[in-house]
Amino acid sequence: MRLQGPWQSIVKRCMSDASLVKMSAMYPPEIDLEGIDEWPNVLLKMQRAKDADPDEDYCHHLVTRKCPDISPRFLFGITIAGVRISFMEWLDNCASMYDLRKEKSPMLNNGMATAIQSCIKDMWLKAGVLHCDMHLNNVLVSRDTKKVYIIDYGMAMQIDDAMRDDLIQALENKRMRPANAFDKFCKDHALKVILRRGYNIDDMDDWNDDASFLRLLASTYCRRRTK
Ligand SMILES: Nc1ncnc2c1ncn2[C@@H]1O[C@H](COP(=O)(O)OP(=O)(O)O)[C@@H](O)[C@H]1O
Ligand SMILES: [Mg+2]
């Protein structure tokens, strides 16, 4: 839901007047509203609280703190009457990669694939977050600036410092391909977390992990010209 009109005052009221609504699980406890006056609108992502993974807001918040340019900036999440509401920056005039592919848009090119790869590396190395649901609908592209944004942290998870150090070593010192580094250091961990969350292993054939998406990008949008 896109909240238009005097949304800043509604957001501030929600935050400050907790007695108005029966709300819980406010995250993060400290909310930084700096700069939001410049946002055109705000997006309220609503889900049944029992279906929302608690890590979604946490991981999105980490990304906003550590690499704010790669995703819509996250404000806060609250649970009201069994509904999880995550407040975030509304990205104006964006298309998903899926829409762009349907339109056969020339925006889908090598440059975009490189930009997305760089966002994914920042998400891993700066925020310590694996996305684990990377597909064409979870990447938005601004039709105005051509900037790319990763959205939807619904299956995301954190990695610990040791795993992050392994990734940094592999990517920066050993110049390993990001997809291979993900498979080597993160894939088993990601699969374990996802199974622990109750996803059915038999439905995991088309699991959109970060490495598969990077390979899709490379094979589809970064083909070397033969002539
Ligand atoms: N911050 C945003 N600004 C603009 N549109 C968004 C934003 N976040 C999501 N959307 C739109 O809403 C759709 C669903 O959002 P998403 O977070 O992926 O939800 P779901 O968990 O249902 O897949 C996206 O594919 C995109 O078109
Ligand atoms: Mg999605």
Measured from the CB, is residue 94 less than 6 Å from ligand 1? Answer: yes
Domain match, 64 and 146 both: no
Note the pLDDT tens digit of each residue in 200-226.
767 766 789 999 999 999 998 765 554
Per-residue pLDDT band at 100 (split at 50, 70, 90): very high
Query: Which of 55, 72, 89 lies at the terminal end of a domain, its last residue?
Result: 89
Q: Is residue 1 part of a domain?
A: no
Is 43 a pocket residue for ligand 1 (Cβ < 6 Å)?
yes
Please report, for the domain that includes residue 135, its CATH number. 1.10.510
Residue at which a domain ends, from 89, 123, 143: 89
How far the first Cα of the chain sits from its last, in Å, is 48
Q: What is the pTM of this model?
A: 0.91
Give the residue from 57, 89, 121 where a domain finishes.
89
Q: Coil, helix or strand for 123?
A: helix
**In sequence order, what E strands does 49-185 have?**
74-80, 83-89, 94-96, 129-130, 139-142, 148-150, 157-158
Q: How many domains does the chain have?
A: 2
Q: Which atom of ligand 1 is nearest to the CA of 98?
A: 25
What average pLDDT does range 39-59 have in this prediction? Answer: 90
The Cβ of residue 28 has, within 10 Å, a number of other Cβ atoms equal to 16
Cβ(97) – ligand 1 distance below 6 Å: no
Domain range enclosing 61: 7-89
Nearest protein CA to atom 1 of ligand 1, as residue: 90
Q: Residue 211, Cα to own-chain centre: how many angstroms?
A: 15
Instruction: Give tens-digit pLDDT for 178-206.
Output: 999 999 999 999 999 998 988 876 776 67
Q: Residue 117: inside a domain, yes or no? A: yes
Q: Which residue's CA is minimally distant from atom 8 of ligand 1?
A: 151
